[in-house]
């Protein structure tokens, strides 16, 4: 193990290390902790310029109550879920098939199609912006959650295909050969042999795509406008405009908006990290 395990170091080093850990963490998350502190302060603290002192009273319940019951926030959160969940399902469905096709079959254009997916995934959003917005307008899906979902599914399929294909490549090919010898049709091989083995990859992708889509801001701004379809990332700017200078509410709103992917991460940590490394770092 590198660096040298701390247990093999002198006692003094060990104690220093143990003491430094929480300090480093405090420094690292400092800006975020500041927002958390803001979110439980009463409004009076800001007018009295008591920014960093102890809250003069604990108003967490009131501030978060305002966010949930006195703003469009619940709607934005709901929209985010209604955009994110179908996208995750769509991406996983499409990419397990494309990944299977590119991972199992040998045909001439295989590698080229694969590279097309990979390259498309790296393209800057701006070059897609105008045509995708037009297409969405033409389909009558501008300012709808469906319009956003369809685009997200299509775009994330690039990344998901990369991931799924590499995962399927690493499966034992003899399994498929054996199934073919048995005369099982290709579709059944996909459904009954390969798909069950892909569960870890599906889990990893789901968490990852959930986070990506939940945190998307650019496309939310380009393809949606109002509270009826905007996800929380775009909604929070309207929310902040509504509560301008009410720092305690803006902080509470930000924390609420950030929470679902954080919860997802802590619940599915192992899968999340497996996904981030694209399966390349074993």
Partner 1 sequence: MTTAADIPEQESWFHRNQQRIAPWLFLAPGLLFFMVYVIIPVFQSFNLSLYEWDGLGAAEYVGFRNYEDLYWEWSDRDAFYISLKNNLIWLLLYLLAIPAGLFIALFLNQTVWGIRLYKSLFFFPFVISQVVVGLVFTWFYDPTFGLLNEFLGMFGMGPLNVLGDERFVTYGIIFAGLWPQTAYCMILYLTGLNAVDPEQIEAGRLDGAKGAKMLWHIILPQLRPATFIAFVVTIIGALRSFDLISIMTQGGPFGSSRVLAYYMFEVALSEYGFRMGYGAAIAVILFLIMLCFIAYFLWSMYREEKGY
Q: Based on the number of CB atoms within 10 Å of its own CB, is 253 exposed (0-12), middle (13-18) or buried (19 or more)?
A: buried
Q: Of 34 and 78, which has the nearer Cβ to partner 1?
A: 34
DSSP labels for 97-125? HHHHHHHH---TTHHHHHHHHHHHHHS-T
Q: Is residue 23 a contact point for partner 1 (CB under 8 A)?
A: no
Q: Per rule CB under 8 A, is residue 85 in the interface with partner 1?
A: no
Let me know: does 48 contact 69? Beta carbons within 8 Å: no
| 34 near partner 1 (CB under 8 A) | yes
- The 134-163 contact track toward partner 1, x by CB under 8 A, reads -x--------------xx-xxx-xx--x--
175 binds partner 1 (CB under 8 A): no
Q: Which of 58, 115, 191, 192 binds partner 1 (CB under 8 A)?
A: 115
Dihedral over alpha carbons 20, 26, 30, 32 (to 10 degrees): 140
Q: How many residues bind partner 1 (CB under 8 A)?
A: 97
Non-local (6+) Cβ contacts of 1 within 8 A are none
Asked if 17 interacts with partner 1 (CB under 8 A), we say: yes
Q: Closest by alpha carbon to 53, among 68, 42, 64?
A: 42
Looking at the Cβ atoms of 82 and 278, the one nearer to partner 1 is: 278
Indicate whether 191 belongs to the interface with partner 1 (CB under 8 A). Answer: no
CB atoms within 10 A of CB 170: 11
Residues in 65-84 at the binding interface with partner 1, rule: CB under 8 A: none
* Residues in 237-266 that interact with partner 1 by CB under 8 A: 237, 240, 247, 250, 254, 257-258, 261-262, 264-266
């Amino acid at each position: 193990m590198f660096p040298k395990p701390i247990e093999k170091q002198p006692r003094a080093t060990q104690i220093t290390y143990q003491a430094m850990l929480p300090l480093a963490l405090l420094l690292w998350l400092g800006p975020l902790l500041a927002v958390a502190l803001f979110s439980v302060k009463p409004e009076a603290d800001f007018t009295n310029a008591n920014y960093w002192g102890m809250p003069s009273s604990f108003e967490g319940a009131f501030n978060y109550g305002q966010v949930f019951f006195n703003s469009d926030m619940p709607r934005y959160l709901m929209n985010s879920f209604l955009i994110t969940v179908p996208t995750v399902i769509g991406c996983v469905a499409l990419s397990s098939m494309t990944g299977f096709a590119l991972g199992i079959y040998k045909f001439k254009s295989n590698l080229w199609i694969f590279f097309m997916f990979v390259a498309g995934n790296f393209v800057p959003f701006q070059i897609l912006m105008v045509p995708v917005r037009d297409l969405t307008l033409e389909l009558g899906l501008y300012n709808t959650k469906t319009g956003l979902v369809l685009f997200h599914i299509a775009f994330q399929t690039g990344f998901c295909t990369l991931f799924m294909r590499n995962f399927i490549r690493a499966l034992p090919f003899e399994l498929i050969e054996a199934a073919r010898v048995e005369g099982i049709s290709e579709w059944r091989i996909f459904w009954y042999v390969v798909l069950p083995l892909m569960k870890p990859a599906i889990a990893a992708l789901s968490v990852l795509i959930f986070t990506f889509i939940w945190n998307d801001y650019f496309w939310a701004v380009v393809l949606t406008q109002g509270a009826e379809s905007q996800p929380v990332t775009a909604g929070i700017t309207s929310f902040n405009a509504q509560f301008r200078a009410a720092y305690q509410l803006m902080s509470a709103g930000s924390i609420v908006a950030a929470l679902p992917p954080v919860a997802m991460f802590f619940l599915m940590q192992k899968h999340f990290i497996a996904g981030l490394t694209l399966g390349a770092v074993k």
